[in-house]
Amino acid sequence: MNKVALITGITGQDGSYLAEYLLKKGYTVHGIKRRSSLFNTDRIDHLYQDPHESNRNFVLHYGDLSDSTNLIRIVQQTQPDEIYNLGAMSHVKVSFDTPEYTANVDGIGTLRILEAVRILNLVKKTKIYQASTSELYGLVQQVPQSETTPFYPRSPYAVAKLYGYWITVNYREAYGLFACNGILFNHESPLRGETFVTRKITRGVAKIAMGLQDKLYLGNLDARRDWGHAKDYVEAMHLMLQQEKPEDFVIATGITTMVRDFVKLAFAVLGITIDFKGEGINEKGYVTSCSNPDYLLETEKEIVCVDAKYFRPTEVDLLIGDPTKCQQKLGWKPKYDLKALVDEMVSADVELFNRERLLKESGYLVKNQYE
């Protein structure tokens, strides 16, 4: 019998890569998608199977982490061997605007999943992966951050995820559930949501180079993140649930990079070098050279600016993960380094905007659809 997995957040970046990975491994994959007024399944449309076909191994269910009745029903129907709880309001800055909703979905939503498994007497059958985060470390206590580093969350998102982390540990200890926290550091890809900083940068780089945008406005350029590729990170999620006993793992590359340096790396993919001058809110990025004949950017042109509206009330300054435990116990090592990640993201966005430019030039796209 094929194993059955249930993924919350299947329409997100990680959900899409994980579903693809598990299907290749022979799993039957069930996913929970939210009802929305527009289609929200772009990232998983390539996996879609017609509901009228028999013997499907990829099935979507409408649901929401704020509704326990619906979660219990889906868990009962699907009887999963593994649940990957990836669904969340995952944007740190937006969590300051929607703190109560974030607590409900990211915090209590985790409890609802654990309770569904307990209520349905699936404690011995169903293993659970909880999408915990390096945001739990928040205010820097020690670096690199490992499984034993104390937490100090700095946003409503991180506080909600702190509840999710501890309720997962508690259900493991209280009821013997096989439940693991993956404390994942930032991971990105061409499927990354457009408002996270890496994707915002790679989209901005592609559009500026192609003459579709003048400037890229960013917030804190000094923040440092340990960035990996989502494709590598979903493999670690699966590995955690194949261990003999449930444990929590940090998943990270062990290398940290400043936002400003990510910007430079991204422009460099297209042969554009930029330099930053000024400080704080007045810091700006200027073109120093452009070796690519396809992109005609003048030197000294100001293309990156700081806008205070992207600053957070409380920031996480430095994240750098210690991957020792996941290397030793899971045998996990990332295949992508930062350069390969940035190359892939910039190239994908150049292709995206080339396609959109062609559509626009041939009259199939109106201006405001891509600006």
Interacting positions 284-343 with ligand NDP (CB under 6 A): none
225 binds ligand NDP (CB under 6 A): no
C-alpha span between 62 and 36 (Å, rounded)? 10
Of the candidates 50, 45, 1, 40, which has an alpha carbon nearest to the alpha carbon of residue 19? Answer: 45
Q: Applying CB under 6 A, which part among 81-89, 294-302, 304-312, 338-346 lies near ligand NDP? A: 81-89
140 binds ligand GDR (CB under 6 A): no
193 binds ligand NDP (CB under 6 A): yes
135 is known as an active-site residue: yes
Placement of tokens 């020792």 in the chain: 324
Contacted entry of ligand GDR, ligand NDP, none for residue 11, CB cut-off 5 to 8 Å set by kind? ligand NDP
Contacted entry of ligand GDR, ligand NDP, none for residue 208, CB cut-off 5 to 8 Å set by kind? none
Contacted entry of ligand GDR, ligand NDP, none for residue 30, CB cut-off 5 to 8 Å set by kind? none
Least gap, CB of 40 to ligand NDP (angstroms): 4
Residues 6+ apart with CB under 8 A from 206: 270, 346, 349, 350, 352, 353
Residues 131/85, Cβ–Cβ less than 8 Å: yes
By C-beta, is 80 or 219 nearer to ligand GDR?
A: 219
Placement of tokens 């899971």 in the chain: 330
C-alpha span between 127 and 218 (Å, rounded)? 40
Task: Give the CB-nearest residue to ligand NDP.
Answer: 12
Helices (H), the chain: 13-24, 68-78, 92-97, 99-102, 109-119, 156-175, 197-209, 230-240, 259-269, 324-325, 338-361
C-alpha span between 344 and 338 (Å, rounded)? 10
Interacting positions 66-105 with ligand GDR (CB under 6 A): 90, 92-93
Count other C-beta atoms under 10 Å from residue 202's C-beta: 31
127 binds ligand GDR (CB under 6 A): no
247 is known as an active-site residue: no
Placement of tokens 């929590």 in the chain: 248
Contacted entry of ligand GDR, ligand NDP, none for residue 68, CB cut-off 5 to 8 Å set by kind? none
Count other C-beta atoms under 10 Å from residue 38's C-beta: 5
DSSP for 193-227, please give it.
-TTSHHHHHHHHHHHHHTTS-S-EEES-TT-EE--
Contacted entry of ligand NDP, ligand GDR, none for residue 87, CB cut-off 5 to 8 Å set by kind? ligand NDP
One residue of 56, 61, 64, 286 binding ligand NDP per CB under 6 A:
64
Residues 226/253, Cβ–Cβ less than 8 Å: yes
One residue of 44, 75, 83, 88 binding ligand NDP per CB under 6 A:
88
Interacting positions 146-185 with ligand NDP (CB under 6 A): 184
Q: Applying CB under 6 A, which part among 120-128, 220-228, 285-293, 325-333 lies near ligand GDR? A: 220-228
DSSP for 29-70, please give it.
EEEEE---SS---GGGGGG---TTSSS-SEEEEE--TT-HHH
Binding site for ligand NDP (CB under 6 A): 8-9, 11-15, 32, 34, 36, 40, 64-66, 86-90, 105, 131, 133, 184, 186-187, 193
Residues carrying an active site annotation: 133, 135, 157
Binding site for ligand GDR (CB under 6 A): 90, 92-93, 133-135, 186, 195-197, 200, 218-220, 223, 225, 259, 310, 312, 315-316
